[in-house]
A and B are shown apart, each in its own frame.
Chain A
Amino acid sequence: MEKKQVTALGGVNYRKLLVDNNSAVILLILLVVGVFGIDKFIKTFPSVVVQASLYGLLAVGLGLVMITGNIDLSVGYQAGLAAVVTVMVLNATGSLAIAVVAALAAGALCGVLNGFVVTQIGVSPLIATIATNYIFKGLTYAKTSTGSYSPTDNSLKDTLKALYDFKVVDGSKFMTLTVLIVAVIFILLLFVLRKTRYGNSVYITGDNVEAGEYAGIHTKRVAMITYILCGILCALAGVFMASRSGGAQYTQGDGMDVLAVSICVIGGIKMTGGKGTMVHVLMGLFIMRIITNILNLVRVEATYMDLTSGILLIAVLIIDRFTSRKKA
């Protein structure tokens, strides 16, 4: 007893340190297992980073929404729809730049719709975004019902593909343009959440809407802006998706919503809002991508991939629960 008292008062409280950083601990375990136990883990790591950047955009957007205490289950098809818009506008104008701007604008519009239904009509975010997801999915299918929807002109297709493949540093495997853009966005949001009034409002909205309202913060506006940001980030992911495969694909957005939620929750963003940072999203992102990569490397059959991922996820969540249980 006496010893414990000293710990809590003056020294380092290791238990608290562990509880506060349990996703970091999980990530560390996975890295150690990968580096020392799995063949080719280090060699394939750059491709993990490149792929992570794409999912990371969705997760970062969703993460913001989750910190405000809401949720967005339409992230996958906001991206899917943006991919379609990219190809459409590219076909119509021949300009990649205009196509990208149009796609981002479409994403922003998706965010406006989500934000409107949630904050103005007052529908529960879960239901609202399940519903809007159908709309975005339907619009995506309208153009991709044949399986895929690519630029009509082959040179345009090459232009589109070049975006995803563009290396910022020659010869480096993972310093692609997408990784760089995502890294910049990530650092920017880290700053925004920590240092700006908007960032602080995001946390207040998530932790206690009423306290925010009484302090003169327009919490509905904060939620709206966050949905719009999420839409834009998803749209950017959609542009990259289109660029990666040279066109929009039929089922591209499927399962991405659940994946993004998993990333956020595993990283430590609370479903109840008000808690979590971009660093948590980043950790969740790498936990998820590394698990997938390890399963690929040990050649789990594609048929059993989902099953194995599910079991591993539960295992991770058990570790999370176990390390954070004492907190209450």
Chain B
Amino acid sequence: MGERKTFITLDGIIKLFPGVKALDGVSFDIQEGEVHSLCGENGAGKSTLIKVMTGAHRRDSGHYLIDGNEVDFHNTQEAIALGVSCVYQELSIAPQLDVAKNLFIGNLPMNGPLVDHKTLYAKAKEILAELDMPVSPKTIAGELSVGQQQMIEIGRALTRNARLIIMDEPTSSLSEKEADTLFSIIRKLQAKNIAIVYISHKLDEVLELSDRITVIRDGKNIISMDKADCTKETLIAHMIGRSLENLYQKEPAEIGKQVLEVKNLTRKGVFQDVSFTLKAGEIVGFFGLVGAGRSEIMRAIFGVDKYQSGEVVVDGKKLRGGSPAQSIAAGIGFCTEDRKQEGLALRLSILLNMTLVKLPLLSTLGVINKQKQREAADEYMKSISIKAPSVTQLVGNLSGGNQQKVVVAKWLMINPKVLIVDEPTRGIDVGSKSEIYGLLSNLAKSGMAIIVVSSEIEEIMGICDDVVTICEGRLTGRVKITESLSRETVLAAALGVTGGMADTDNGGEVG
């Protein structure tokens, strides 16, 4: 690693916002062709640091050197011109345009005043080959999967001769397979002497990919380490400033009577013949690849989507289906996968978001009892420690972890018998994750039945009693989680290669 040349040096970077010192003297360097990960909790200053590097923000003081020369970017174009590109968490694909135009957006090959289509498609083909993407440059970008769209963003950086590509949570919406493709592309880029700054909450990925890792906390860089000197535990300890005994705090809960029964639920072309049961106090994980139908099954159980046949029975009462209001009344709560899309009204207050489901119980003849509403919200703000100045704050201003807690609180307020949580910790920091796990464990102890849908095996194996695997719209097995259960067994079942795990005798039936 010694022969690598230093590409970027940051020295004592300070960035102030009204009320906060977002960056408080961050220093680190990036060498050509290295994968350098940035770790830190939400709010640690990673995003601000990226924005300073890409020219979206200007630093207040400190030095930023590229190839040894001081730079001062006024906008992202200037940074791109010097080889610094970024693939943001939120993709910026033009869904109606084709792949080639998306790759060369803002940078189209011209022939005089006209777009040179021949060169455009030829060059696009080269880039796609480089990215191992078997799609035509004329494919409409909106038809690609999220993973492929992300590849297009990386390809876009390549068309601009990037020397550094910053990737902000690139795997947060990718399936395991897509993530693997991404990793091999990263290796290829690295071989071409392109540096990668990699940001992820998934520490396993960070450890697998990185040459070096820098941890940021409270706007300061705490430590930069070679991967060899680093373990998951040391990384977490540096990130949160103390050692975290156990991320997954699952305490045993008393298993009660059956509260949910799903029988032969079928929605043509989406999922078939789904049957399982759930008892009070149980936490059951649903694991499958993206697109296996996990969320779709949950949506049908909750009544947002309709189903053709089968039934959902809550506490002995059969649901009519297709009505969230009825499912809620029967005692099902649903923390959705995408909190910004389905879970929260970001421009409205914490108060309103949190009490949304409970509102009927907080009103008389349609008029809301404001005092009761306020008290209810204040209570949950405290009990699950949502960090915000007051409940009147807009939800959009909160961090991801706190937003997720608002979603959970919304459902806890009606004290559901069955709580479905879909990807409960996506995109939130380790500290908040641990709090959410602790919360789920406590809820199970209090007798709630919980379904956890997740694409992280670790998470499911850490906090669930049982795991149910799904492959292509069918349940492929249900087993009790024990020390001896291996990740590979679960993964194989989810991939459908073993034809199902051997069901253990735990009372759950799988169809």
B367 touches A200 (CB 8 A): no
Of chain B, the residue at the smallest CB distance from A275 is B347
Q: Which residues of A contact B356 (CB under 8 A)?
A: 200, 204, 211-212, 215, 217
B19 touches A9 (CB 8 A): yes
Q: Is residue B246 within 8 Å, beta carbon to beta carbon, of the partner chain?
A: no
B304 touches A198 (CB 8 A): no
Q: Is residue A7 within 8 Å, beta carbon to beta carbon, of the partner chain?
A: yes
A1 touches B16 (CB 8 A): yes
B347 touches A207 (CB 8 A): yes
Q: Give the A-B pair count, Cβ closer than 8 A.
A: 85
Partner of A214, one of B20, B334, B360, B370: B334
Within 8 A of B (CB), among A206-231: 207-208, 210-218
Q: Which residues of B contact A299 (CB under 8 A)?
A: none
B344 touches A211 (CB 8 A): yes
Q: Is residue B495 within 8 Å, beta carbon to beta carbon, of the partner chain?
A: no
Query: Provided the pairs A195-B370, A197-B360, A204-B356 are in contact, do residues A210 and B341 lie with their beta carbons within 8 angstroms?
Result: yes
Q: Which residues of A contact B324 (CB under 8 A)?
A: 213-216
Partner of A210, one of B16, B342, B367, B368: B342
Q: Tell me the smallest distance from the CB of B393 to a CB of chain A, in Å.
A: 13
Q: Which residues of B contact A213 (CB under 8 A)?
A: 304, 324, 342
Q: Is residue B319 within 8 Å, beta carbon to beta carbon, of the partner chain?
A: no
Partner of B348, one of A210, A216, A217, A274: A274
Determine the interface band of chain A, counting residues with CB < 8 A from chain B.
Answer: 20 to 34
Determine the interface band of chain B, counting residues with CB < 8 A from chain A.
Answer: 20 to 34
B345 touches A195 (CB 8 A): no
Q: Is residue A8 within 8 Å, beta carbon to beta carbon, of the partner chain?
A: yes
Q: Which residues of B contact A217 (CB under 8 A)?
A: 325, 356
Partner of B363, one of A1, A197, A208, A214: A197
Q: Tell me the smallest distance from the CB of B346 to a CB of chain A, in Å.
A: 7
Once bound together, how far apart are the Cα atoms of A7 and B352, in whole Å? 27
Of chain A, the residue at the smallest CB distance from B343 is A211
Q: Which residues of B contact A195 (CB under 8 A)?
A: 367-368, 370
A207 touches B348 (CB 8 A): yes
Q: Is residue B440 within 8 Å, beta carbon to beta carbon, of the partner chain?
A: no
Q: Which residues of A contact B341 (CB under 8 A)?
A: 208, 210-211
Query: Provided the pairs A204-B345, A218-B325 are in contact, do residues A196 and B19 lie with their beta carbons within 8 angstroms?
Result: no
Q: Which residues of A contact B329 (CB under 8 A)?
A: 216
Within 8 A of A (CB), among B341-385: 341-348, 352-353, 356-357, 359-360, 363, 366-368, 370
Query: Provided the pairs A195-B370, A196-B368 are in contact, do residues A214 and B18 lie with their beta carbons within 8 angstroms?
Result: no
Q: Is residue B151 within 8 Å, beta carbon to beta carbon, of the partner chain?
A: no
Within 8 A of B (CB), among A253-281: 274-275
A5 touches B370 (CB 8 A): no
Within 8 A of B (CB), among A1-35: 1, 4-5, 7-9
A274 touches B347 (CB 8 A): yes
Q: Which residues of A contact B343 (CB under 8 A)?
A: 211, 214
Once bound together, how far apart are the Cα atoms of A235 and B410, in whole Å? 39
A200 touches B357 (CB 8 A): no
Q: Which residues of B contact A1 (CB under 8 A)?
A: 16, 60
Once bound together, how far apart are the Cα atoms of A218 and B341, in whole Å? 17
A198 touches B366 (CB 8 A): yes
Q: Is residue A141 within 8 Å, beta carbon to beta carbon, of the partner chain?
A: no
**Given A5-B18, A196-B367, A211-B345, 10 additional A-B pairs, CB 8 A:** A4-B19, A5-B20, A9-B19, A196-B363, A197-B366, A207-B348, A210-B342, A211-B353, A216-B327, A217-B325
CB-CB nearest 5 A-B residue pairs: A8-B19, A207-B345, A8-B18, A216-B325, A208-B345
